[in-house]
């Protein structure tokens, strides 16, 4: 499989990771693990099926089978198992990660997540996305304002901005929230203007996080589980679609 599954996680606003290359490597390893587990599952379910017409059993779950082949039931069972059993496991895993957030981590009110957000998208693009109904962009642009220049962001956060720029493979735009007080308090904390994305921060261990952020212990501990869950989800979507295609081609 040649698709670069890692790509999609780094394109969200504020989605740049602390150390992209390490995480990409970790993701690839866990992707292989998730893949092997699914292949084992396919093999296990294979034993439940047979075909009176096939001289040799179907070997690949993606095979285009002959009409009324007994192994189509295998393909269907795999789709259902991916959707229900594995899907449920992924959800449970993501719920555990979320539940651990305020156990393993806490906000130390450093204010960095409010003062330095980054995105591959310019303010104009984000506004456009917001107008087109993009939930994140709507929330983000409802409070965040762009820095006048990357240099202005760099002057305030030299280390982080340099790191982000070094690791980005395209343009990066920096933003800050004007509702942060000088003592790092949110001045719209109990106000309906405060977006849900702020309440949810950090939404996933995959996002960019200041190295002294109080959620770092959570991020570090939950990273492998998160990557494994995302890899499994990507693989389930891939296989479900490909098996459906094979089933359709057989009919
Ligand atoms: Zn057959």
Rounded to the nearest whole angstrom, what is the distance from the C-alpha of residue 41 to the centroid of ligand 1?
20
Q: Are 42 and 81 in contact (CB under 8 A)?
A: no
Distances (CA, A) of 173 to 8, 77, 179, 203: 18, 46, 19, 20
Rounded to the nearest whole angstrom, what is the distance from the C-alpha of residue 239 to the centroid of ligand 1?
20
In a domain, 117, yes or no: yes
Print the domain residue range for 80: 21-105+221-250
In a domain, 6, yes or no: no
Rounded to the nearest whole angstrom, what is the distance from the C-alpha of residue 232 to the centroid of ligand 1?
29
Q: Are residues 59 and 144 in the same domain?
A: no
Q: Are residues 189 and 148 in the same domain?
A: yes
Rounded to the nearest whole angstrom, what is the distance from the C-alpha of residue 63 to the centroid of ligand 1?
11
pLDDT (0 to 100) of residue 163? 84
Q: How many domains does the chain have?
A: 2
Rounded to the nearest whole angstrom, what is the distance from the C-alpha of residue 57 to the centroid of ligand 1?
7
Q: Is 141 helix (H, G, I), strand (E, B) or coil?
A: helix
User: How far apart are the C-alpha atoms of 251 and 22, rounded to whole Å?
Assistant: 45
Q: Is 239 helix (H, G, I), strand (E, B) or coil?
A: helix
In a domain, 205, yes or no: yes
Rounded to the nearest whole angstrom, what is the distance from the C-alpha of residue 54 to the centroid of ligand 1?
4
Q: Are residues 127 and 208 in the same domain?
A: yes
Rounded to the nearest whole angstrom, what is the distance from the C-alpha of residue 47 to the centroid of ligand 1?
14
User: How far apart are the C-alpha atoms of 154 and 166, rounded to whole Å?
Assistant: 12
Q: Are residues 209 and 231 in the same domain?
A: no
In a domain, 50, yes or no: yes
In a domain, 229, yes or no: yes
Q: Are residues 206 and 232 in the same domain?
A: no
Q: Are residues 208 and 118 in the same domain?
A: yes
In a domain, 49, yes or no: yes
Q: Are residues 123 and 210 in the same domain?
A: yes
pLDDT (0 to 100) of residue 84? 97
Rounded to the nearest whole angstrom, what is the distance from the C-alpha of residue 66 to the centroid of ligand 1?
6
Q: Are residues 210 and 225 in the same domain?
A: no
DSSP labels for 64-128?
-PPTT-TTHHHHHHHHHHIIIIIHHHHHHHHHHHHHHHHHH-------HHHH-EEESS-HHHHHH
Please write the tens of the pLDDT for every residue from 36-52.
Answer: 999 999 999 999 999 99
In a domain, 62, yes or no: yes
Rounded to the nearest whole angstrom, what is the distance from the C-alpha of residue 65 to the centroid of ligand 1?
7
Q: Are residues 100 and 54 in the same domain?
A: yes
Q: Are residues 237 and 183 in the same domain?
A: no
In a domain, 148, yes or no: yes
User: How far apart are the C-alpha atoms of 179 and 187, rounded to whole Å?
Assistant: 5
Helix axes 216-250, 20-46, angle to 10 degrees: 40
Q: Are residues 63 and 155 in the same domain?
A: no
Q: Are residues 154 and 195 in the same domain?
A: yes
Point out the residues of the chain with pLDDT beneath 70.
1-20
pLDDT (0 to 100) of residue 14? 40
Rounded to the nearest whole angstrom, what is the distance from the C-alpha of residue 40 to the centroid of ligand 1?
21
User: How far apart are the C-alpha atoms of 20 and 32, rounded to whole Å?
Assistant: 18
pLDDT (0 to 100) of residue 5? 39
User: How far apart are the C-alpha atoms of 251 and 235, rounded to whole Å?
Assistant: 25
Q: Are 75 and 245 in contact (CB under 8 A)?
A: no
- Residue 152: how many other CB atoms lie within 10 Å: 13
Rounded to the nearest whole angstrom, what is the distance from the C-alpha of residue 55 to the centroid of ligand 1?
8
pLDDT (0 to 100) of residue 206? 87
Rounded to the nearest whole angstrom, what is the distance from the C-alpha of residue 60 to the centroid of ligand 1?
12
Please write the tens of the pLDDT for every residue from 56-112.
Answer: 999 999 999 999 999 999 999 999 999 999 999 999 999 999 999 999 999 999 999
Q: Are 209 and 18 in contact (CB under 8 A)?
A: yes
129 sits in the region (left: phi over 0; alpha: psi -120 to 50; else beta) called alpha
User: How far apart are the C-alpha atoms of 34 and 230, rounded to whole Å?
Assistant: 10
């Amino acid at each position: 499989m040649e698709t670069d599954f890692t790509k999609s996680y780094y394109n969200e606003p504020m989605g740049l990771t602390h150390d992209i290359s390490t995480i990409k490597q970790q993701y690839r390893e866990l992707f292989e693990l998730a893949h092997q587990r699914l292949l084992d599952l396919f093999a296990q379910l294979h034993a439940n099926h047979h075909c009176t017409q096939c001289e040799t059993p179907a070997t690949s779950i993606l095979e285009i089978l002959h009409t009324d082949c007994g192994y189509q039931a295998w393909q269907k069972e795999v789709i259902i198992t991916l959707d229900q059993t594995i899907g449920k496991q992924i959800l449970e895993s993501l719920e555990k990660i979320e539940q651990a957030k305020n156990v393993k981590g806490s906000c130390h009110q450093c204010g960095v997540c409010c003062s330095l957000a980054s995105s591959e998208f310019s303010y104009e693009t984000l506004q456009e996305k917001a107008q087109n109904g993009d939930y994140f962009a709507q929330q983000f642009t409802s409070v965040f304002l762009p820095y006048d220049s990357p240099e202005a962001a760099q002057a305030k956060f030299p280390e982080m901005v340099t790191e982000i720029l070094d690791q980005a493979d395209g343009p990066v735009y920096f933003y800050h929230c004007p509702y942060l007080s000088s003592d790092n308090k949110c001045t719209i904390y109990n106000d309906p203007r405060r977006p849900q994305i702020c309440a949810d921060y950090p939404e996933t261990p995959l996002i960019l996080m200041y190295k002294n952020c109080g959620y770092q212990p959570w991020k570090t501990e939950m990273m492998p589980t998160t990557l494994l869950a995302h890899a499994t989800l990507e693989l389930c979507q891939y296989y479900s679609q490909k098996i459906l295609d094979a089933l359709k081609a057989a009919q």
